[in-house]
Structure 1
Amino acid sequence: MNTTPIRGVLWALSGLAALLLAWHVVAVTLYLRDNGSPGPIPPPLSVLNRAVTGLVEGAYIEGLTATAGAAVAGYVIAVAIALTLGVLVMVLPALGPLAAQLGVVTACAPAAAIAPIVVLLTPSGSRGVSIVLAMLAVEFPLVVGVLLGLRSAAPSQIDLVHAYGGSAWTAIRKVRLISALPAMLASLKIAAPAAFLGAMTGEFFTVGVDRGAGRLLISQQYVGDYSGMWAIALLATLVSAAGYGAIALAGRLVAPWTSHVGSVR
């Protein structure tokens, strides 16, 4: 019987328990106020209670859903751009350096400089800033993953397609896209949490928007609700992790063989 997965789970749970214990000790010894209320670092139970309360009341669910919607929109746009660039590079290899540079530019573009410009270009109440920042946050890993994946096809397979009269587009459909799945799925998983973070960051710059995880965080900060701030951060982390897990599960269902690529036998 292979006990490696069980051992891994036990180690993960032990690490989580140690982290929560250290968090609790620091919170109650260094940051607890004289009146007993939580300080800038509240105890984990206080944060958990605040998160559950916010979810039951519906305010947190509404905010997280709004941010997730903007993240998904930016994510989908980024995927479409990355796939389009990848296909164009396969058909016109001379565009390779340009596509790589575009990916680098999106990774280096500072959110604090881009967001005000998007605010000026979009109407009040629009989530354009969140969508754009979500897109920029994931474009670079997606472009890199798509290009590496499409280029990973064996030359002999491409030559075989051409030998039977197939065009570059045929090679892309029949060979390159299948070979690219492992790299593309890896980049898609990495990009999912980044998209939510980008959308949440964009809500710090939006005008006329009162819903979203970022807006909730600002409101909690304004009233000094430290437990609420940490609760939003915790829930945002869980939503990002759920996005990663959803893409990983979808990848296993659509292309189960990719989960074994690179495994040690």
Structure 2
Amino acid sequence: MTGQRRLPGWLAALIGTGVLVAAWWLFSVSVYTPQPGTGYTPVPTPWAVLARVVEDGPQPYWGPFRVTITEAAWGFVWGNGLALALAATVLLAPRLEVVVVQVAVVSYCLPLVAVGGISIVVLGGADRPGDTSDTAVFLAALAVFFTTVVGALLGFKAADHASLDVVRVFGGGRLAQLRKVQLVAALPAILNALQIAVPTAFLGAVLGEYMGATDRSVGITLIRLQGNLDSERVWAVFLLCALVALLGYAVLGLVARLVTPWVSGRAA
């Protein structure tokens, strides 16, 4: 008996996008209608937002997004680098696993808003305005730390014990096992964790920009637009944020398919 055929990925994405746009449009025309006398609506229609983006062009949005993407990228590198280093340390010293997991859980439970306020004081972000914010980079790194630690630990534990025994029989130590067996076995889980970390890092950077001192960024742009009651541009920035995060997620997914072809059933 043959199983049910799954929808192609592109078709599922198209259907999901259509459902979201339809729900957005129904919400804007039925719940948040324009206020009498002002024409202001907190939730403009998708067509109004797209028209605003086309009318403005890429220039007003590129500068803020360039800064935020840079902050998210640095946070992505630092957070994931530390997470992978700690996960690898657990393999060399298994007794440290409990400590590393507890640190990861505590970092996940910390409220980012409170941590952001503390990081401004510690990092001095409020006194050094510039193109990037240390607070945004720190929150982006903190946002991705837990997922990557857990994903890497689970991936390392997925290594085949028979292969580890073979390396041990031929005189290999923990480092040889890590390099020849465990890293290969953990690659799918690590890449999946890194893929999830892309939108998370971007979200952490935007949140940090609400607290840190940046001259121009997505967070500062949202604050200014909200103060001006410019709902169309606010939603335009929201939409562009989603597209940037989705693009980064898709790029990491493509990298994962190229690096680990055996996961999708293709010959290695």
Equivalent residue number for residue 25 of structure 1: 26
CA contact (8 A) 1:150 1:177 kept: yes
Matched residue SS, 1:205? coil
Q: Specify the alignment match of 1:241 in structure 2.
A: 246
Sort the Cα spacing of 1:7 and 1:119 in 2 relative to 1 into closer, same or farther, 3 A: closer
Instruction: State yes or no: 1:62 paired with 2:63.
Output: yes
Aligned 8 A contact 1:106 1:139 in 2: yes
The answer as to whether partners of 1:181 and 1:258 remain within 8 angstroms in 2 is no
**Is 2:223 the counterpart of 1:221?**
no
Cα shift at 1:36: 7.4
Distance 1:10 1:100 in 2: 39
Shift of the 38–259 alpha-carbon distance from structure 1 to 2, 3 Å rule, reads farther
Query: Structure 1: any 5+ residue segments left out of the alignment?
Result: none
Q: Distance in 1 between matches of 2:8 and 2:115?
A: 46
Partner of 1:34: 36
**1:193-235: per-residue Cα shift (whole Å, max 9, x none)?**
100000000000012x121111111111010001111111111
Shift of the 140–6 alpha-carbon distance from structure 1 to 2, 3 Å rule, reads closer
| CA distance in 1 between partners of 2:58 and 2:263 (Å) | 41
- After superposition, the C-alpha distances for 1:49-97 in whole angstroms (9 at most, x for unaligned) are 223344x251211111111111110111112111111111101000000
How many residues end up aligned between the 2 structures? 257
Q: Does the 8 Å CA contact 1:146/1:183 hold for their aligned counterparts?
A: yes
Cα-to-partner distance string for 1:234-253 (whole Å, 9 max, x where unaligned): 11011111111111111122
Q: What is the one-letter code of the residue matched to 2:110?
A: A
Q: Percentage identity across aligned positions?
A: 36
Q: Distance in 1 between matches of 2:155 and 2:260?
A: 14
Partners of 1:138 and 1:236 in 2: CA distance:
17
Other-structure match for 1:44: 46
Amino acid at match of 2:50: L
Q: Which amino acid aligns with 2:17?
A: L
Looking at structure 2, the residues matched to 45 and 7 of structure 1 have their Cα atoms a distance apart, in angstroms, of 27
Letter in 1 for 2:63: E
Q: Matches of 2:231 and 2:251 in 1, distance apart?
A: 30
Give 1:115 shift: 1.0
Q: How far apart, CA to CA, are the structure 2 residues paired with 1:109 and 1:166?
A: 40
Structure 1 residue aligned with 2:258:
253
CA distance in 1, matches of 2:104, 2:89: 14
| Counterpart residue identity of residue 190, structure 2 | M
Answering whether residue 133 of structure 2 is matched by residue 131 of structure 1, we say: no
Distance 2:201 2:112 in 1: 13
Distance 1:8 1:79, change over 3 A: closer
Out of 161, 164, 182, which is 1:158 matched to? 164
Distance 1:222 1:33, change over 3 A: same
Q: What is the CA-CA distance between 1:101 and the residue it aligns to? A: 0.8
Amino acid across the alignment from 2:45: P
Q: Which moved more, 1:126-135 or 1:195-204?
A: 126-135
Q: Does 1:200 align with 2:202?
A: no
Residue of structure 1 equivalent to 2:146: 140
What is the alpha-carbon distance in structure 1 between the residues aligned to residue 117 and residue 235 of structure 2? 27
- The alignment partner of 1:51 has SS state of helix
